[in-house]
Structure formats: structure tokens, C-alpha cells
């Protein structure tokens, strides 16, 4: 099976491609905008299946199908709320809610494979979907965090945080001022709140901010060692199984 990914967030597109490859699915191409997609469909044959983000950098992805005729079945990838998702159910279009869960991706692929023989051509009323998406919901990531310092509450801005790390069952934010603050959260909870463009989880213990990496050096067992601008309390080592994804994230 060959699929096409249309997704404007490159880290999200790479993650989806890796997940599909793990399911034995070949990603023929990845597109990142309405304009690029229209051009591609005008010059290439439609793929077997499309994974399509709704909100692209230059508009709603439905604009692609206003410009070119595409008969491929579609799996929407979206961060829209449950009400908006009713549109896809009514139109018999599969969808995956971001961040995409591997089990849900596998189920969507299985559903496509089961329906493939004798499947009727895709028939979706995109105008009906538009009406339910009058106020598109853009994915928002946290820009501020708070930490208690004595009787005071300290506001920490995301762009001033060099890394998040866990220690002694606590989660800390290390800032550009050279201090670490205890947060009332976990690294797992932060995964849903941090921008994947800015932060990457290099190990079970650390998330790092791309703007505060001062150096990256080779380390033992094919791993990498990260040096941050101010944080010196502990070594930050990219886990071997995360090195490949980390290098892709840096691009």
C-alpha cells in the first residue's frame, strides 16, 4: 500500500511516516501546503490512501479538492474537538485525533484494508464539513508555566526554559537564568503541552529546547551528548533509540 501524507507540521509528518512504515505501509510522498498539494495532484496519479491534516499553513486542506479532483480515500488527522469530528462520521470519513495513537492508526489501516475490495468511490461533501468548522481550532501549546517559590508563584515563559527534567519523582524546569524550578506536572503530561517544534524528549528524563542547545557531541554506544547554554547540573544524553528521531527534529 502506498500512501500520501499532507501535513504542514514537519515533525508531525515525520512521526506519522515512521508510524506508517512500522505498519508496513510505504509513504510515497509528503506534502506541506495547499499550494504544493494542488501542484502535486496535477502532475501525479492519486495514491491509494491519503492522510490529510485539516488546517495547513496556507489554508484549509479542503481547498485542494476545490482545485483538483481526487478519488482516493482519506484519513483526516486533526486536533479539532469532538463536535467538529461529527462531520467526518456523518460523511463516512475516517479520522485520527492528534497526537496520533499507534493503536488507532493501526485500526484505521485495518478498516481501510477491509473495505478496499469493491469499495465505492469516495463521496464527501466538504461544504458540509466546512459549515461545522466555522471557527477552526488551531493547536495551541503552552507558552507559560508556573512554579511555587515559597509564598510566591513564579511565571516561567516557555522560550526561557532550556530543559525539563525529572529527578527524585519531581519534574523541574531549568531556565536561562541558571535556576531550576519544581513543577506540579510530569514529563508525560508535558508531552501534550509542549510544542514539538521547540521541545524534544531526548530520553526518559529530559526534554530540551532547540534554541538553547549550545553543542552536540558524539557519545558512547552511538548516543549523543547535548550541552545547553546554562544548565550544567547533569549530563544530557540522547537515548540510542531516539538518536535518529532527534537528528530529524534538528533539520
pTM recorded for the entire structure: 0.52
Who wins on pLDDT, 229 or 71?
Answer: 229
Structure confidence by residue, pLDDT tens digits, 43-73: 998 898 999 888 888 888 878 888 888 878 8
Structure confidence by residue, pLDDT tens digits, 91-127: 445 778 777 888 889 988 988 887 755 555 445 556 5
Q: Quick one: average pLDDT of 210-225? A: 94
Beta strands in 71-116 (DSSP E): 74-78, 94-97
* Residue 17 clears pLDDT 80, i.e. is over it: yes
Report pLDDT for 207.
96
Helix/strand/coil percent split, the chain, to 5:
35, 30, 35
Distances (CA, A) of 183 to 102, 140, 145, 155, 156: 29, 20, 8, 11, 10
Q: Quick one: average pLDDT of 123-146? A: 63
41 CB-near residues (< 8 Å, 6+ apart): 64, 68, 70
Distances (CA, A) of 98 to 15, 53, 217, 236, 248: 11, 10, 33, 28, 20
* Residue 133 clears pLDDT 90, i.e. is over it: no
Q: Which domains does the chain have, with CATH numbers?
A: 2-132 (3.40.50.2300), 144-250 (2.40.50.1020)
Arithmetic mean of pLDDT over the chain: 84
Structure confidence by residue, pLDDT tens digits, 161-186: 999 999 998 999 999 999 999 999 99
* Residue 152 clears pLDDT 60, i.e. is over it: yes
Burial class (CB in 10 A: 0-12, 13-18, 19+), 229: middle
Distances (CA, A) of 136 to 36, 61, 87, 122, 139: 21, 12, 13, 24, 10
Percent of the chain whose predicted confidence (pLDDT) is above 90: 50
* Residue 137 clears pLDDT 70, i.e. is over it: no
Who wins on pLDDT, 30 or 119?
Answer: 30
**Nearest CA among 53, 33, 61 for reference residue 99:** 53
Amino acid at each position: 500500500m502506498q500512501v500520501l501524507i499532507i501535513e504542514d507540521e514537519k515533525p508531525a509528518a515525520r512521526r506519522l511516516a515512521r508510524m506508517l512504515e512500522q505498519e508496513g505501509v510505504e509513504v510515497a510522498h509528503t506534502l506541506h501546503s495547499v499550494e504544493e498539494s494542488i501542484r502535486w495532484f496535477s502532475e501525479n496519479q492519486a495514491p491509494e490512501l491519503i492522510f490529510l491534516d485539516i488546517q495547513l499553513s496556507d489554508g484549509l486542506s479542503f481547498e485542494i479538492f476545490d482545485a483538483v479532483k481526487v478519488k482516493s480515500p482519506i484519513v483526516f488527522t486533526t486536533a479539532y474537538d469532538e463536535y467538529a469530528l461529527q462531520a467526518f462520521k456523518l460523511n463516512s470519513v475516517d479520522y485520527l485525533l492528534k497526537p496520533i495513537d499507534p493503536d488507532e492508526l493501526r485500526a484505521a489501516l485495518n478498516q481501510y484494508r477491509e473495505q478496499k475490495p469493491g469499495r465505492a468511490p469516495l463521496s464527501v461533501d466538504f461544504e458540509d464539513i466546512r459549515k461545522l468548522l466555522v471557527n477552526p481550532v488551531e493547536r495551541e501549546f503552552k507558552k507559560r508555566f508556573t512554579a511555587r517559590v515559597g509564598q510566591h508563584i513564579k511565571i516561567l515563559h516557555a522560550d526561557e526554559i532550556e530543559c525539563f527534567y525529572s529527578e527524585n519523582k519531581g519534574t523541574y524546569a531549568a531556565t536561562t537564568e541558571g535556576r531550576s524550578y519544581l513543577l506540579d506536572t510530569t514529563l508525560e503530561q508535558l508531552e501534550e503541552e509542549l510544542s514539538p517544534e521547540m521541545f524534544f524528549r531526548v530520553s526518559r528524563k529530559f526534554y530540551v529546547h532547540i534554541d538553547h542547545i549550545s553543542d552536540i557531541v558524539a557519545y558512547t554506544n552511538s548516543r549523543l551528548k547535548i550541552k545547553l547554554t546554562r544548565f550544567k547540573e547533569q549530563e544530557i544524553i540522547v537515548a540510542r533509540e531516539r538518536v535518529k528521531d532527534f537528528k530529524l527534529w534538528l533539520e
